Amino acid sequence: MAERDFDAIVIGAGPAGEVMAGRLADADLEVALVERELVGGECSFYACMPSKALLRPAELLAEVGRVPGLPVSGELDADRILARRDEVVHDYDDDAQLPWLEDRGIELFRGDGRLDGERKVAVGDDVLSARKAVVIATGSAASLPPIDGLADIAAWSSREATSAKEVPESLIVIGGGVVGAEMAQAWRSLGAEIDLIEPEERILMHEEPFAAEQVEAALVERGVRLHTDVGVERVSREDEGGAITVELSNGEKLEGEHVLVAAGRKPRVEDIGLGSVGIEADGPLEVDDRLRVGARDWLYAIGDVNGRALLTHMGKYQARVAAANILGGDAKATRDLGGTSPRVIFTDPEIAAAGYTLAAAEEAGIEAEAVDVSTAGNAGASFHGRDAEGTSRLVIDGKRRVVIGATFVGPDANELLHAATIAIVGEVPLERLFEAVPAFPTRNEVWLNLLEKYGL
């Protein structure tokens, strides 16, 4: 057994772990990075990147169809799209990630990293000791709801949904959150028959109702069969390789080749040695705003594993905050709680949002009001073609006269988002925000429309 000393040890080489390791190494610390699978993590290989590669072709085809005069075949080449998806994820090989680590002197240990007492991590036959800190960045995994028979049918998680090598004939999606909505649209665009089941009254329950309704309408228009306000009672497959039957709480029965479970995530806290440092956890690791676990000044948890915001960019934000503290600073994470993080749902139309929804603001006791305009109601939007519809909303704190939330729905709505994030974080007074003049003719004039609608 080899024992090695480092300044810091990071368990998990997903986006949060990579940012952490890089920040510390750039400050001349000796850093060990431990990864059980692929450097780059879930987002790079099984989530954000491949899902967008699957969604993008249909989005482009729809854009071409909205602009007269462009040649449109009307068909997507599924084989070439799946091959391009594989290019995006480097054929599930992380060799391209390694030079970045090597350039910074970060030492990579492949295997399962487990805490082995205070400031120690065991990886296979190696025991690593940390002079300054150990950082847990193990991420999350798909959770399996307690549905009768579900564990027996080899259901897809988001991993199988983004990495499938051929288009399924039919797919039943359980869960109408971000993964469910995006994958339903992606595989429908490639020819699969899709049923999407959501137990709540609508999909995308954490977003503005109008945004969810507009995405629902787009899914239905594309041929997705939507089942809302209904649960799943049981799942079964009579013959190996045969069709799967999903029985709904309203008595309806659905049949499909595969079932995708998109019903949430759970933090990866099992088998990482938490008991060796007196921690019992079957859920997210509780951290303070400095991202420390409990009162331990040497142990940090960043990214999905702490449950504060299950978004790649927020895990990277937490990594920057925690790294600053390990390096002797006094930084706090203040923008990763309450479901108000900036976020994009890459359906067509897209939903891009930051801050509070109107309902969430009212639940928080804020005297909020909403202002809505058409996302397409400006000159810049006309270049996106006919029927490029959608709604944009600002949620405004009437007392402080600042923007506390924004939602944009429409093609490439993500392009409008960062301005909203800056306005919210900077608490820019509306009168001052009105001085930020959007260029003509760009879609950013939606900001002018919103502020004028408010009365400025």
Q: How many residues does the chain have?
A: 456
**pLDDT at site 387:** 64
pLDDT at 396 over 90: yes
Structure tokens given for 2: 């080899």
Class of domain 2-40+94-141+266-326: alpha beta
Q: 1 pLDDT exceeds 70?
A: no
pTM: 0.95
CATH of domain 150-263: 3.50.50.60
In tens, the pLDDT along 69-113 reads 887 777 899 999 999 999 999 999 999 999 999 999 999 999 999
Domain ranges in the chain are 2-40+94-141+266-326, 150-263, 349-454
Work out the percent of the chain whose per-residue pLDDT is above 70. 99
CA atoms within 13 A on the CB side of 395: 24
* Average pLDDT for 12-22: 98
Token look-up 């079957």 returns 282
d(CA 36, CA 271): 12
**Is pLDDT above 70 for 385?**
no
For the beta sheet containing 258-261, the strands, ordered from the edge strand earlier in sequence to the opposite edge, are 225-228, 193-198, 170-174, 258-261
Same fold, 150-263 and 349-454: no
The tens digit of pLDDT for each residue in 189-241 reads 999 999 999 999 999 999 999 999 999 999 999 999 999 999 999 999 988 77
**Residues β-bridged to residue 354:** 406
Fold of 349-454: Enolase-like; domain 1 (3.30.390)
- At residue 242 the predicted structure's pLDDT band, cuts being 50, 70 and 90, is confident
Rounded mean pLDDT of the chain? 95
Q: Express each pLDDT in 47-77 by its tens digit.
A: 999 999 999 999 989 888 888 888 777 789 9
Distance CA 84, CA 53 (A): 7
The torsion angle over the Cα atoms of residues 267, 271, 277 and 282, rounded to 10 degrees, is 40
Distance between CA atoms of residues 318 and 137, nearest Å: 10
Q: What is the DSSP string of 120-169?
A: EEEETTEEEEEEEEEEE---EEE-----BTGGGTT-B-HHHHHH-SS--S
